[in-house]
């Protein structure tokens, strides 16, 4: 019996081996074949032991369905999309549980041109649950490939690496998959490296979760930055599709401020273009839009939705406040290395410190760390907020957003967790604290 909770908006993910395991991965792989009817699929995996175990089952399910498998081995999550569009494969599957704790496993699936196959796709889910699959007359074949050199070469063509000036950079992949390619990425670049947790480990070095948004998980990095005094610090999550930054003072820089810097940098590469961001925190991005003359488009939160919006609008850049960054060059896939190189480029070209680059966006802008609430009936809470803040500007593109001239908030159900999430920004720290307390009390009833 398969727990239907594992079929999510972006992928299939759950506890391993309870909710997802070898047998379930096999069934999902066969349902995936029936969904997209591929001839050749590239398969990769993150560094987790669960992913290695389920990898064999996924390959078996594909091969028995008559599909040829290109075994790309261990990789970062963005590499699977690159493999699909760069080599023109019919689809790709990566065994990954993203930044979840060790006891999780998952699968992310794409079809031609690296377009996401949602985990909650109705047909895929139904076929997996029923064990329905394609009956092949002949088994597929397996071929091992190494895409790392081509991938790193691709990344370096997006950024003008000739403009990079020597920086002293603290590098922290949290023992995740970025450590697989970091040496190749940095080869020949003007850097004084300070390596921290760069060796990939199946247990992420014992970290509770390889997630830089978790204050506890980056505490040691901040301590190291304060000791070593690098020009800036880059921290990647476990599967390498997100990157976070500390400035030269070892201070964590919230993603919306990094996004604003990236908007200005990308605008120089793509003038008169547009970018897409989710609507949880928007004021820094609005200012960057004005500064760069890039058109700002708002999307529903989530990897899948930002990709779709970028594709529809032919936007060149996208960002989510959780530090997912998307690019036209990557066929709207998110990527953790490109933003790192672009921030490095922005620091190099401007001659400014990272703290100086983000300062105009932090001025008179304050935001909370996202607050999670366990709510049994989110719709009832949202109805109450709409009544209590009826004089504010409201929209329901993504949960509920209410905006006033000097503060705004968004409450939305998570796409990946059974919680509701509150985000808020304000033009003074005092106002932010007052409104956070007020809204939280209403939410909690």
Contacts of 96 (CB under 8 A, 6+ apart): 11, 45, 46, 48, 51, 77, 106, 107, 108, 239
CA atoms within 13 A on the CB side of 419: 10
Q: Give per-residue pLDDT as tens, 82-120.
A: 999 999 999 999 999 999 999 999 999 999 999 999 999
Domains of the chain: 4-146 (3.40.120.10), 151-352 (3.40.120.10), 366-444 (3.30.310.50)
Local confidence band at 418 (pLDDT 50, 70, 90 cut-offs): confident
pLDDT tens-digit map of 350-408: 999 999 999 999 999 999 999 999 988 888 899 999 999 999 999 999 999 999 999 99
Sign of CA dihedral 429, 431, 434, 438: negative
Distance of CA 401 to the CA centre of its chain: 22
Both structure tokens of 385: 């907020």
The pLDDT of residue 279 is 97
Determine the pLDDT at residue 304. 85
- Quick one: what percent of the chain has pLDDT higher than 90? 96
- The C-alpha atoms of residue 428 and residue 327 are separated, in whole angstroms, by 33
Only one residue has tokens 């599957």, namely 93
pLDDT band with cut points at 50, 70 and 90 for residue 413: confident
Q: What are phi and psi of 310, to 5 degrees?
A: -60, -45
Q: Stretch 293-303: mean pLDDT, rounded? A: 95
Whole-number pLDDT of residue 108: 97
Q: Are the C-beta atoms of residues 257 and 203 closer than 8 Å to each other?
A: no
Q: Which of 164, 367, 167 is nearest to 260 (CA)?
A: 367
Instruction: Single out the catalytic residue among 98, 148, 273, 289.
Output: 98
Give phi and psi for 155, each to the nearest 5: -60, -45
Are the CB atoms for 338 and 159 separated by under 8 Å? yes
H or E element in which residue 191 lies: strand 191-195
Give yes or no for residue 9 having a pLDDT over 90. no
Give the pLDDT confidence score for residue 42 in this predicted structure: 99
- Give Cα separations from 168 to 32, 247, 310, 371 (angstroms): 45, 12, 34, 34
Average pLDDT over the chain, rounded to whole?
A: 97
Provide mean pLDDT across the span 157-165.
95
- pLDDT for residue 417 is more than 80: no
Confidence of residue 134 (pLDDT cuts 50, 70, 90): very high
Q: What pLDDT, on a 0 to 100 scale, did the predictor assign at position 117?
A: 97
How do residues 309-352 score in pLDDT, each as one tens digit?
999 999 999 999 999 999 999 999 999 999 999 999 999 999 99
Long-range contact set of residues 416-419: C-beta below 8 Å, sequence gap at least 24:
416/8, 416/9, 416/10, 416/13, 417/372, 418/374, 419/372, 419/373, 419/374, 419/375
- The answer to whether the beta carbons of residues 309 and 299 sit under 8 Å apart is yes
* Mean pLDDT confidence for 282-299: 98
User: How does DSSP classify residue 176?
Assistant: S
pTM of the model: 0.96
Torsion angle of alpha carbons 106, 111, 113, 115, nearest 10°? -60
- Is the pLDDT at 425 greater than 90? The verdict is yes
414 is catalytic: no
Q: What is the pLDDT of residues 97-106, one digit of tens each?
A: 999 999 999 9
pLDDT band at 287 (very low <50, low <70, confident <90, very high): very high
Order of strands, sheet of 317-320, starting from the edge strand that comes earlier in the sequence: 295-299, 274-278, 317-320, 324-327
Task: State how far the Cα of 410 lies from the Cα of 405, in Å rounded to an integer.
Answer: 15
Provide the token pair at 54.
Answer: 């389920």
């Amino acid at each position: 019996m398969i727990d239907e909770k594992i079929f999510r908006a972006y992928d299939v993910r759950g506890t391993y081996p309870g909710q997802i395991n070898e047998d379930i991965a096999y069934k999902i792989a066969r349902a995936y074949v029936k969904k997209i009817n591929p001839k050749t699929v590239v398969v990769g995996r993150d560094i987790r032991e669960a992913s290695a175990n389920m990898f064999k089952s996924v390959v078996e399910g594909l091969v028995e369905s008559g599909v040829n498998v290109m075994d790309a081995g261990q990789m970062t999550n963005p590499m699977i999309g690159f493999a699909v569009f760069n080599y023109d494969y019919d689809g790709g599957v990566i065994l990954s549980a993203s930044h979840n704790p060790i006891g999780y496993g998952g699968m992310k699936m794409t079809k031609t041109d690296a377009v996401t196959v949602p985990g909650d796709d109705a047909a895929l889910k139904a076929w997996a649950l029923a064990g329905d699959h394609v009956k092949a007359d002949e088994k597929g074949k397996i071929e091992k490939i190494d895409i790392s050199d081509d991938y790193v070469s691709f990344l370096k063509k997006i950024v003008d690496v000739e403009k990079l000036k020597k920086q002293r950079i603290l590098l922290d992949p949290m023992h995740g998959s970025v450590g697989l390619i970091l040496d190749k990425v940095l080869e020949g670049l003007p850097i004084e490296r300070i390596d921290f947790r760069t060796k990939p480990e199946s247990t992420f070095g014992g970290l509770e979760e390889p997630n830089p948004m978790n204050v506890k998980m980056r505490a040691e990095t901040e301590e190291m930055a304060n000791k070593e005094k690098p020009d800036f610090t880059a921290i990647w999550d476990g599967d390498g599709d997100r990157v976070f930054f500390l400035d030269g003072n070892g201070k964590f820089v919230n993603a919306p401020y990094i996004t604003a810097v990236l908007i200005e940098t990308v605008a120089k590469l793509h003038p008169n273009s547009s970018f897409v961001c989710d609507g949880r925190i928007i004021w820094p991005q609005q200012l960057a839009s004005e500064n760069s003359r890039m058109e700002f488009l708002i999307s529903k939160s989530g990897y899948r939705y930002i990709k779709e919006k970028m594709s529809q609008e032919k936007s060149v850049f996208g960002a989510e406040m959780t530090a997912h960054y998307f690019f036209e060059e990557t066929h709207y896939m998110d990527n953790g290395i490109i933003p790192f190189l672009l921030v490095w480029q922005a620091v190099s070209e401007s001659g400014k410190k990272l703290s100086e680059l983000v300062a105009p966006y932090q001025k008179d802008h304050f935001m909370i760390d996202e607050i999670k609430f366990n709510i049994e009936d989110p719709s009832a809470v949202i109805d109450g907020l709409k009544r209590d803040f009826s004089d504010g500007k409201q929209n329901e593109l993504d949960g509920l957003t209410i905006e006033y001239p000097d503060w705004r908030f968004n409450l939305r159900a998570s796409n990946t967790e059974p919680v509701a999430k509150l985000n808020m920004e304000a033009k003074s720290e005092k106002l932010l604290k007052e409104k956070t307390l007020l809204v939280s009390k209403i939410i909690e009833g």
